[in-house]
Structure 1
Amino acid sequence: MAQDGPGNSTVIGGRYRLQERLGRGGMGTVRRASDELLGRAVAVKELHVDAGTRAMGALREARVVAQIRHPHVVVVHDVVEHEGVAHIVMELVEGGSLADRLATSGPLTPRETARLGISLLGALGAAHERGVLHRDVKPANVLIEAGTGRAVLTDFGIARLAGATTISEAGAFVGSPEYTAPERMKGAEAGPAADLWSLGVLLCTAVTGESPFHRDSIGGILHAVVFDEIEPPARLGPLRPVVRGLLERDPELRLGGPEAVRLLEACAAGEGVDGDGEVPEPVAVVAYSPTERATRPDAPLPSESARPARRRAAVRVGLVAALLAATVAGTVTATRLLGEERDPGKGAAGAAASAGPSFFPVPAASGNAQASPPSHPATGSVRPAPAGYQVVSDAQGFSLAVPTGYRRTTDEQRVIYRSPDGSVRIGIRVAPAQSGGPLGVMRRADANGAQTNPGLRDNKVVATTHDGLPAALWEFTWDGFTRAEGAHHAFDLCWEQGGVLYDVWVSAPVGRAAEARGHFDAALDSFVPALRGGGQP
């Protein structure tokens, strides 16, 4: 094994003379070296012997990574073994990492970050085309070449072929938890979308200076990644839509590479950015726990992309305990506890202005969404679905009609039914009754609308009724979820019934506002809350 001393002159592979150490990570130590055959400087990563089978697996996969050719992917020249230890010979990039840059010079501007993101998306795309997943995209693994500013994605040492598990045979989790996608945290199969999640965290870190999931413990980090509400901070400016899309917890709904590139290209060109690309403070907290939400009425409401799963309390406790125990042992042990089905008895969180409990139990239906004709809450008569719609009975305790083909998702506040193209959303929130009644709820939402719905305009709140009950309607236009979709128009009605606040909301691109209004009316006309004892809702 090579030594660290300045006079070290070990030659490996018959040609690479090792020199000073450049850095050390969990999987290996990187040294400068001289390729005596070609007369050039290179970097040599010595994989740690104690990495065992993981190191040998990384060596095998490095041979695959060596086939990736892209200007923003570090070039792998060779893979050799010396005294039974695996070494990867790579291009030497003169310059520090993005982590070094952030530590010494502070955050990047949104425009600089957009250009960085485009480079890294190109690198990831080239890797994914070869079936290779990076699995550890973070600032420390992005090198910034001195003089040119070229960003180079490096350290594919824990890369895996697409479809491979993220957990080794020994049960050790590999990667950096703050930058790891929720599906990998659950021990589930992860694809290219997992790298895109990590890129989303990196982009947020580049602008704010800190990972949005930074916490004081491994358990806290995991809870933030998997459960806490996600709201991209205001400082991201025009980068908010792309970060919001990349931090979608459901990998199937996560923003794809080509669309992310289009959004970043618009940011890099200066669209929506003033002057040199700076965006005003403050930097908001990105991930809010349910407790923080209940105690911070000024906190922004969660984004559409936030999708924390509701789980049994025992599942959460068991997960954190397992992770803390694993940390003491020197590894982060991944469990599959998070894969358990969500508790159908847990409803949506209350609004930001509510001082009530974070989770409000409502009667559960069988399954998440089953087709069944609901009954009118007062008369018991069936409310049939209009043509082109289907009636669903939702696990959160209500029934309504949604367009055929719409898919169910959730975020911290709502159950959401999304159109096949994802641009039209029908959301339903169930929460405790709140002070000021429906009108007060909507007026507070409107007052905070600029935070929760960037670009809020043409907004109004009016008192109305629903099924003879006092209600309030909030109608507004806003910038929408992504630049590609453009501005959205939204209709939001809330009312109270039997001590419960019900809120039905529809948002769609402004060009489809009439269609959205039709879906909104159909949802309200067919909506039936869960009935409680005595036949009263």
Structure 2
Amino acid sequence: MGAEGDDGRVIAGRYRLRARVGRGGMGVVWRADDQLLGRQVAVKELAGDDDLPDEEAARRRERTFREARAVAQLRHPHIVVVHDVVEQDERPYLVMELIDGGSLADRIAADGPVDAAEAARIGVDLLAALGTAHAAGVLHRDVKPANVLIESGTGRVVLTDFGIARLAGTTTLTETGAFVGSPEYTAPERMSGGTTGPESDLWSVGVLLCAVLSGESPFRRDSMGGVWHAVVAAEIRLPEQAGPLLPVVRGLLERDPGRRLGAPEAARMLRAFLETGRTPRAAAVTEPGRAPRRTPAARRGSWTDWSPTETDVPRRRTGTPGAGRRPRGVLIAAVLAAAVVGAGVSAALLADRADGGSGGGSSTGSGTGTGGGAGSAGTPSSAVSGRSADPSGASGSSASAKSADPHGTSVSAAPAGYRTAHDPAGFSLAVPEDFSRDLQGERVFYLSPGQTFRLGIKVSAPQPGGPEQVLSKASAEGSRTNPGYRDTTLVESVHAGLPAASWEFTWNGYTRTEGPRHTYDTCWEQSGRMYDVWVSAPVGRGAEAKRYFDTALDTFVPKSS
């Protein structure tokens, strides 16, 4: 039954199946002839399974009829037209408009990612289609490139396959415990079993924009558990190609559905990009029925990319970082932001809580760390040819993929552009080649030229309550010690197979010149010690800072006990 074959069956005495043109999770799509009206149509045949119990078979039929009822209500140029729904031999068939063209997924696979203008055009059309569906009480619940068709010749965008859509107020088929949908494109509230609304479809549009711009979803992982963690808890790594549309993508990928960018505003921003080549920020005002939406960068979604940014100079301060709200579920509190640009400020570095890691209880040794947002600890970095270096920061000679540090521990080689620092404080890790070492009390810093980026490490004795308690205590002081402390995320995580806590937050900086800051921090106990590793930087340099942070964690080796 290949695309070139002729099946020949006639369904409901009217629709002759010709060639198979696609297959999805719920069935096969055929090119067919409507012999009554003399036109070509697409016929979706529900995948059969003779081994299914009668109850499950009936459930599958109901799913298809539900799709027909939902989509048949809708009239929009970017929504596939449903002509008919019929049943034969206890198997349902959905008769739809035939679109001469392939799916968006096929297009990306064949030709690669699209440019920002094409992505914006697709986004505007999908948002318009979803606006019509949502106004009719219909949720799609499976927006992804495979369910978007691009008509040949015209380029018309058509949203299809409402196979798991439901009418508002009806019982969902997934209430039996089965997950229906594409996890990589599914909103966190739905992945967590929460209430699903129109906002969930908008999240999926945000993921789709990332996918069409870069070639894959930012939540793609090797396992269902990995996908769940990436969607629900881990820091969201936006592709560099999303840069021109970042205000829209970030607004749609807000984990809190009440703060997620609405369809009209997202469409307005995309149209503005198409007209001017620049994407404006989201309006501060909310749409009717939506919670207030904050416009500053790095909200609760744990961002690695893009935000308004300034350079910065730290000032001396004392106290521990803190005060974060405690989200539900696995989310506990916050990930920090702060770093230092400016020269000749070693005294401020010692007391700078936003750059100072939270491991430990003393005022000078405990600072806001740089939490690797939810679940970011231990994320594999790209791998690597290595270099080694002495503690002073001078580059060493090339090394093999694995080498032994002075403590006798096997350590991963540094990636290209990095060197392995064997620190006298009792650990090894990879740092960028141009970072220099600076010891400030209990904390070791590796600083970029101009101190734009600050990588900090603190080694201390284990603390009561472990890493989570230490970071929670630091977060509790955040409002007092960090002007504008906000958008915190503190999560339980894992590093090197050990329980850890990761923290992230944004704050305003201490001066106008300094500008807003963002930090990633992970704290864990290992070999009888507590380790706190963080990276801080101007919020607009988050992608670079996160790469430094991930590399530091991935290559960190403590002194052998």
Question: Structure 2 length as normaliser, TM-score?
Answer: 0.55
* 8 Å Cα contact 1:362/1:396 also seen in 2: no
User: CA–CA distance in 1 between the matches of 2:4 and 2:121?
Assistant: 39
Pairing 1:361–2:468 present: yes
Q: Structure 1 residues 345 and 66 mapped into 2: Cα distance closer, same or farther (>3 Å)?
A: closer
Change (3 A) 1:351 1:63: closer
Given that 1:364 and 1:395 are in contact with CA atoms closer than 8 Å, whether structure 2 keeps it comes out as yes
The aligned amino acid for 1:21 is R
Q: Does 1:350 align with 2:370?
A: yes
Secondary structure of the residue aligned to 2:248 is: helix
Q: Does the alignment pair 1:11 with 2:101?
A: no
Residue deviations 1:364-421, cap 9 Å, x none? 99xxxxxxxxxxxxxxxxxxxxxxxxxxxx99433858xxxx9986446446899xxx
Partner of 1:21 in structure 2?
20
Which residue pairs with 2:90 in the alignment? 84
Q: CA RMSD in A?
A: 3.9
Q: CA deviation at 1:235?
A: 1.8
Residue 265 of structure 1 and its aligned partner are, at CA, apart by 0.5
Match of 1:162 in 2: 168
Alignment partners' CA distance in 1, 2:88 and 2:14: 12
The answer (yes or no) to whether the contact 1:347–1:430 under 8 Å persists in 2 is yes
- Report 1:254-269 matches (<5 A): 254-269=260-275
CA contact (8 A) 1:9 1:19 kept: yes
SS at match of 1:272: coil
Are residues 185 and 453 of structure 1, via their aligned partners in 2, closer, same or farther at CA, if it must alter by over 3 Å?
closer
Q: Render the CA deviation track for 1:336-381: whole Å, top value 9, x for unaligned.
A: xxx9644758876625734569x9433699xxxxxxxxxxxxxxxx
Shift of 1:238: 1.9
Once residues 54 and 356 of structure 1 are traced to their aligned partners in structure 2, the CA distance between those partners, rounded to angstroms, is 57
- Cα distance between partner residues in 1 of 2:132 and 2:140: 11
Unpaired segments of 5 or more residues in structure 1? 274-301, 309-338, 366-393, 419-424, 434-440, 455-537
Residue 344 of structure 1 contacts residue 396 of structure 1 at CA under 8 Å; is this kept in 2? no
Distance 1:163 1:243, change over 3 A: farther
1:165·1:187 contact (CA, 8 Å) conserved in 2?
no
Q: 1: CA distance between counterparts of 2:78 and 2:19?
A: 25
Q: CA deviation at 1:12?
A: 1.5
Aligned equivalent of 2:301 = 306
Partner Cα separation in structure 1 for residue 246 and residue 165 of structure 2:
28
Q: For residues 302-335 of structure 1, give each alpha carbon's deviation from its aligned partner in whole angstroms, at most 9, with x where no partner exists.
A: 9335259xxxxxxxxxxxxxxxxxxxxxxxxxxx
Structure 1 SS opposite 2:129: helix
Q: Distance between the aligned counterparts of 1:241 and 1:262, measured in 2?
A: 12
SS in structure 2 at match of 1:269:
helix
What corresponds to 1:451 in structure 2? 541
CA distance in 1, matches of 2:517, 2:180: 36
Q: Distance in 2 between matches of 1:55 and 1:355?
A: 59
Shift of residue 428, structure 1, vs aligned partner = 10
- SS of residue matched to 2:211: helix
| SS of residue in 1 equivalent to 2:45 | strand
Q: Quick check: 1:33–1:41 contact (8 Å CA) kept in 2?
A: yes
Q: Does the CA contact (< 8 Å) of 2:82 and 2:97 recur in 1?
A: yes
Q: Tell me the residue number matched to 1:120.
A: 126
> Aligned with 2:204: secondary structure?
helix
Taking the TM superposition and a 5 Å limit, the aligned residue runs for 1:194-233 are 194-233=200-239
2:477 to 378, 398, 404: 398
Post-superposition offset of 1:65:
1.3
1:96 maps onto 2:102 in alignment: yes
- Contact (CA 8 Å) 2:139, 2:197: kept in 1 or not? yes
Aligned partners of 2:479 and 2:485 also within 8 Å: no
1:345/1:361 contact within 8 Å kept? no
In 1: Cα distance, 2:34 partner to 2:224 partner: 40
Q: 3-state DSSP class of the match of 1:49?
A: coil
What does 1:489-504 correspond to in 2, within 5 Å? Answer: none
User: How far apart are the structure 1 equivalents of 2:166 and 2:187?
Assistant: 15
SS at match of 1:89: strand
Q: Contact 1:15–1:36 (CA<8 Å) still a contact in 2?
A: yes
Residue 362 of structure 1 aligns to a residue whose secondary structure is helix
Q: Does 1:132 align with 2:138?
A: yes
The 5-angstrom pairing of residues 207-356 of structure 1 reads 207-272=213-278, 303-304=298-299, 306-307=301-302, 341-342=329-330, 344=332, 350=370, 353-355=455-457
Report the identity percentage: 52
Distance 1:221 1:306 in 2: 16
Deviation at 1:67, TM superposition (A): 1.3
Q: C-alpha separation between the residues in 2 aligned to 1:305 and 1:183? A: 14
The number of residue pairs the alignment matches comes to 348
Give the match for residue 37 of structure 1. Answer: 36
| 2:64–2:92 Cα contact (<8 Å) kept | no
- Secondary structure of the corresponding residue to residue 149 of structure 1: coil
Runs of 5+ in structure 2 lacking a partner?
50-55, 280-296, 304-326, 337-368, 373-454, 460-465, 491-502, 509-514, 524-533, 545-561
Does 1:186 pair with 2:181? no
Distance 1:361 1:136 in 2: 36
Alignment of 1:400-415 (within 5 A): 400=479, 410-411=488-489, 413-414=503-504
Q: Tell me, in whole angstroms, the C-alpha distance in 2 between the residues paired with 1:172 and 1:356.
A: 45
Query: Quick check: 2:518–2:537 contact (8 Å CA) kept in 1?
Result: no
SS at match of 2:468: coil
Shift in alpha-carbon separation, 1:183–1:361, aligned structure 2, 3 A: same
For residue 453 of structure 1, report the CA deviation from its aligned partner: 9.1
Alignment CA distance shift 1:34-1:43 (3 Å): same
Structure possessing the higher relative contact order (Cα contacts under 8 Å, 6 or more residues apart): 2
Give the Cα separation in 2 of the matches to 1:407 and 1:252: 21
Query: How far did residue 217 of structure 1 move?
Result: 1.7
* Residues 351 and 113 of structure 1, relative CA distance in 2, 3 Å threshold: same
Closer/same/farther in 2, CA of residues 133 and 307 from structure 1, 3 Å limit:
farther
| TM-fit CA distance, 1:6 | 3.2
